[in-house]
Amino acid sequence: MKHLRAATVVFGAVGVLAFTWALASGSHVQVPKHGEEIECGSAPNQAELRGLLAELMRAWVPPRKEPAVLPNADSRGARLMGTYCAQCHGLPDPGAYSADEWPRVMERMSLRIKALGSRRCHLLQLAVPTDQEKVEILAYLRQSAFESLNAGPKVPLTGEGAMAYLNFCSQCHEPPHPRQHLPSEWSKVVNRMQDYAYFIGRRTITDKENAAIVEFLKSQAR
pLDDT digits (tens, 9 = 90+) for 40-56: 555 556 666 666 666 65
Which domain does 207 fall in, by range? Answer: 149-217
> What pTM does this model have?
0.69
CA distance 101 to 139: 12
In a domain, 162, yes or no: yes
Q: What is the pLDDT of residue 50?
A: 60
CA distance 10 to 110: 13
Question: Among 143, 177, 209, which residue terminates a domain?
Answer: 143
Same domain, 10 and 107: yes
Same domain, 57 and 138: yes
Side-chain-side CA neighbours of residue 47 (13 Å): 0
Question: Among 93, 128, 143, which residue terminates a domain?
Answer: 143
pLDDT in tens, 136-183: 999 999 999 999 999 999 999 999 999 999 999 999 999 999 999 999
Same domain, 129 and 97: yes
Backbone angles phi, psi at 166, to 5 degrees: -65, -45
Q: How far is CA 105 from the centre of its chain?
A: 8
58 pLDDT exceeds 70? no
Same domain, 95 and 164: no
**Which one is predicted more confidently, 16 or 157?**
157
CA distance 36 to 131: 35
CA distance 115 to 8: 13
Q: Which residues pair with 148 in a beta bridge?
A: 176
Same domain, 127 and 210: no
What total of structural domains would you count in the chain?
2
CA distance 7 to 21: 21
Question: Among 97, 118, 143, which residue terminates a domain?
Answer: 143
Same domain, 83 and 155: no
CA distance 66 to 142: 19
